[in-house]
A = this chain, B = another copy of it.
Amino acid sequence: MKNKVLLPIGVVFFIAAARPAFADAGTINAADTAWMIAATGLVLMMTIPGLALFYAGLVRKKNILATMAQSLGSVAIVSLLWAGAGYSLAFSGGNAWLGSLDRILLAGIGMDSTNELAKNIPEALFMLYQMTFAVITVALIAGSVADRMKFSAFLLFGAGWLFLVYVPVAHWVWGGGFLGAMGMLDFAGGTVVHLNAGVAGLVAAYLLGPRRGYGTENLAPHDLSLAVIGTGLLWVGWFGFNGGSALSASPRAVMAIASTHFAACAGACVWMALEWWSRGKPSVLGMISGAVAGLGTITPASGYILPWHGAVIGVLAGLVCFWACTVLKERCRYDDSLDVFGIHGLGGALGTMLAGVFATAAISVTADTPNGLPGALEGNWDQLRVQAIGIAVTAVWCGVVSWILLKLIDAMVGLRVGLDEERMGLDVTLHGEAIQ
């Protein structure tokens, strides 16, 4: 809210608009607040129950509850750590590398405080909204290690990774750090969320080793209908994820939602078509995989592009992620159980590059960047270099730190359950309960 001059404005809205704005504190806008509360709820819903269902639907019956426990645990623990220090270290100023300690334990967040990055909504709301991103990023990783990781190890990893990887990367890209300063485009988390989760998942899958029976036993999902419910909630929730990243109830939020939706549709159609063509049958798992691939891939570009760009990105997402899950994984022989790397990791990287391709000045224009942020299609080829640097920095940092952290945790409590526990299923052995 930089402009304190009174300006003529041409409209009193039919229904009451509500933007007082005479006092300094009064930069908070009720309409934006209304939307951002909804968006925060939507992104929380993406993790519980969205992601919990999506993942639970893909594992075997004996691991359904354990898989859900990982989503629940991520919400509970990451949220508290975020309030404790994560938010402060990511989003409260600081230097190019890390935020400040000003908001440790939420100190100073009051009724009328706002964050520099979103002066139109209460700071507590900005903090909560960003929290839901940290939560889902950690929860996503669980898909790579499904069916075999210890719950204790997962929680320790999530807590450590939040501070060592998520928080710095979020600061670099969004919180005033060097990647953002360099002009890197990542609207809603192609690198911060999806690439990050994908790389961490890949590293964890390598370190843990494949599931017992991988390649020999039937590891088919127990109940794909759960995964379909989860996909529906993820999809709707993504309106809050990408649309909310506009941080206002504005046309930009709408544009982000439009490209997001068309990317999901195109991803689903492409994956469906590829399966139909290659195997004679389009699977439901394929359709939802394509939709999620489209959603993950559009994320970094969503607020910078035109709706039809979304469809193009969705098509590319479907092609690349299909190949990653069916060909690449086979070839590299890692067991990324639920394809976090193949879908989110590669999708996130691809989308980050495509943001550099499709960014459109007319959409990405803001008060701070009055000329918009053009991409390669509009002649700004250099943007691709910036995007590539962002991807490389994130992937390397995340990969290395995740590896070290997992090694440490392995030494402390062990990463993987025993063979008998894996065979009996994690529900009973880790949580003492079972789907009857």
Contact = CB atoms under 8 A, between A and B. Distances in A.
Interface of A: 1-23, 25-35, 37-38, 40-42, 44-45, 47-50, 52-53, 56, 60-61, 64-66, 68-69, 72-73, 75-77, 79-80, 83, 105-106, 109-112, 118-122, 124-125, 127-128, 131, 151, 220-226, 228-229, 231-233, 235-236, 239-240, 243, 246-255, 257-258, 261-262, 264-266, 268-269, 272, 279, 281-285, 287-288, 291, 306-308, 311, 362-363, 365-368, 430-433, 435-436
Given A12-B22, A31-B31, 4 more contacts: A12-B23, A17-B30, A69-B282, A72-B268
A367 B252 contact: no
Nearest to A135: B265
Contact of A16 (B40, B41, B226, B248): B248
A170 B252 CA distance: 27
A425 B74 CA distance: 36
B5 A18 contact: no
A16 B9 contact: no
Given A20-B16, A284-B68, A35 B32 contact: no
Contacts of A11: 1, 3-4, 7, 19, 21, 26-27, 29
A261 B42 contact: no
A106 B10 contact: no
A18 B15 contact: no
Contact of A73 (B37, B221, B287, B431): B287
A306 B107 CA distance: 10
Contact of A284 (B72, B221, B250): B72
B291 A76 contact: yes
Given A68-B228, A79-B265, A255-B111, A13 B31 contact: yes
A22 B8 CA distance: 8
A264 B44 CA distance: 13
B27 A20 contact: no
A308 B268 CA distance: 42
A367 B124 contact: no
B52 A228 contact: yes
B37 A307 contact: no
Contacts of A48: 228, 231-232, 235-236
Contact of A10 (B4, B38, B257): B4
Given A18-B249, A281-B432, A311-B83, A38 B35 contact: yes
A433 to B, nearest CB: 5
B248 A17 contact: yes
A258 B131 CA distance: 11
Contact of A308 (B7, B41, B106, B261): B106
A8 to B, nearest CB: 5
A212 to B, nearest CB: 18
B38 A16 contact: no
B13 A29 contact: yes
Given A76-B265, A311-B83, A14 B1 contact: yes
A49 B365 CA distance: 35
Contact of A42 (B41, B229, B367, B433): B41
Of A2, A15, A66, A362, most buried by chain B (CB within 10 Å of CB) is A15
B21 A10 contact: yes
A60 B435 CA distance: 11
Contacts of A69: 282, 284, 287
Given A225-B64, A254-B124, A239 B40 contact: yes
Nearest to A128: B258
A12 B20 contact: yes
Contacts of A21: 9-11
Nearest to A43: B236
A16 B31 contact: yes
A2 B30 contact: no
A73 B264 CA distance: 12
Of A10, A35, A75, most buried by chain B (CB within 10 Å of CB) is A10
A433 B64 contact: no
A111 B14 contact: yes
Contact of A13 (B225, B248, B435): B248
B122 A83 contact: no
